[in-house]
Amino acid sequence: MIRLHHYPGNASFTPHVLLHELGLPFELALVDRGRAAHKAPEYLKLNPNGQIPVLVDGSLVLYETAAICLHLCDAHPQAGLAPALGTAERAHFYKWLVWLTNTLQAMLMHYFYPERLVDDGDAGAAAQVRAHAQSRVGTMLQQLDDQLAAHGGPWLLPSGYSAVDPYAFMLCRWTRGFSDRPARDYPHIGPYLARMLERPAVQAAFAAEKIGAPFY
């Protein structure tokens, strides 16, 4: 059986949603960040980076959220969570998946962990990093909003719902505490998040992780 090592609301949320979308039998293994379980020797054997999530699928042990998403899409093509291989739509799917993980998520990490980029104890510098990161994320959210506006469809890709949608939803909900214009306040992202929340797979993941409102 598939096992997803997760923590509520963490980067494991996207593959959690996808597993529900696929209707696959799986089990959740809580990695208690409050007790630094992601840095414990046993977990580091699964992911030497000490980060969440890890997916164990038979003999396959996989980390990195985007890699897990691609594996689930490729292993279960009948679900249609990625456009067909070799098509322009698939290329755009890759583009947005990489953008989400390498651009938007990376900048959100600077917002949440600014102390990683400054000298120890330099609270002023950390505050400046966080403020700049929030501003940069705002620019990226505008790009996301423009993408939704450009084709007028219900999902991020014109070709339809795909694995990039729960990924975008997860990152957008991480902005819910922004002091200035969280994702829900953008004219096209706001309704998009509401549509995502209506999906049974998203609701099932929230319920399993015991996450309540506000969802985004």
Read off the CATH number of the domain in which 163 is found: 1.20.1050.10
109 with 194, same domain: the answer is yes
CA-based torsion, 185, 190, 193, 198: positive or negative: positive
CA distance 48 to 37: 13
The total number of structural domains that make up the chain: 2
What CATH number does the domain containing 44 carry?
A: 3.40.30.10
183-212 as b/e, with b when 16 or more CB fall inside 10 Å?
A: bbebeebbebbeebeebebbeebbeebeee
Digit-coded pLDDT (tens) for 7-60: 999 999 999 999 999 999 999 999 999 999 999 999 999 999 999 999 999 999
Other CB atoms within a 10 A radius of the CB of residue 72 amount to 24
Closest CA to 141 of 175, 93, 91, 164: 175
| DSSP designation for 83 | P
Alpha-helical (H) ranges within 51-87 are 65-75
41 with 17, same domain: the answer is yes
Q: Is residue 207 part of a domain?
A: no
The pLDDT value recorded for residue 191 is 98
Segment 120-147 mean pLDDT: 97
> In this structure, are residues 100 and 164 in contact, taking their beta carbons and an 8 Å threshold?
yes
Digit-coded pLDDT (tens) for 148-157: 999 999 999 9
75 with 94, same domain: the answer is no
The predicted model scores a pTM of: 0.96
The pLDDT value recorded for residue 66 is 98
Residue 65 tokens, joined: 């959220």
Give me the percent of the chain exceeding a pLDDT of 90: 99
Residue 194 is part of which domain span?
Answer: 88-199
Digit-coded pLDDT (tens) for 56-115: 999 999 999 999 999 999 999 999 999 999 999 999 999 999 999 999 999 999 999 999
65 with 104, same domain: the answer is no
60 with 109, same domain: the answer is no
